[in-house]
Amino acid sequence: MKRITIEVLGPGCKNCDDLYDNVLKAIEKFGRQDTIKVEKQKEIDYFIKMGVFSTPALVIDGKVVSTSRVLSPDQIVALIKEGMA
C-alpha cells in the first residue's frame, strides 16, 4: 500500500485550522489512517518554496492541490484517492 503525506500550509488562521480538521475527518472517512501522514506547515519560507502565496493550502505528496479555500472532508477524500491512484 502506497503511503502518502498530506500537508496543510497556513500560519494558524481559522481557515487553516478548519482545513486541518477537515483533513483529519477525511482520513477517518477514508479508513486508512496507517497509510497517511499529516503535517501542519506554518513557515512562510516553506509556503514560498512550494509556490503558495495564499493560504490555507493543501499539499499531497509534494503537489499543491488546493489554495485559498477550506475543502470539505469529501473533497479531500477524492483528492486522496487521486493521489493513491
Instruction: Output phi, psi for 13, to 5 deg.
Output: -75, 170
Sign of the alpha-carbon dihedral angle for 70, 67, 30, 3: negative
If pLDDT is split at 50, 70 and 90, which confidence band does 81 have?
confident
**CATH architecture assignment, domain 4-84:** 3-Layer(aba) Sandwich (3.40)
Query: pTM here?
Result: 0.92
Q: How high is the pLDDT of residue 85?
A: 64
Q: How high is the pLDDT of residue 35?
A: 83
pLDDT digits (tens, 9 = 90+) for 7-63: 999 998 999 999 999 999 999 988 766 788 999 999 999 999 999 999 999 999 999
- Write b or e for each residue in 7-45: b if 16 or more Cβ atoms lie within 10 A of its Cβ, otherwise e: bbbbeeeeebeebbebbbebbeebeeeeebeeeebeeee
Q: How high is the pLDDT of residue 54?
A: 95
Q: What angle do CA 10, 28, 82 make, to 5 degrees?
A: 70
If pLDDT is split at 50, 70 and 90, which confidence band does 71 have?
very high
- Partnered with residue 6 across adjacent β-strands are 38, 60
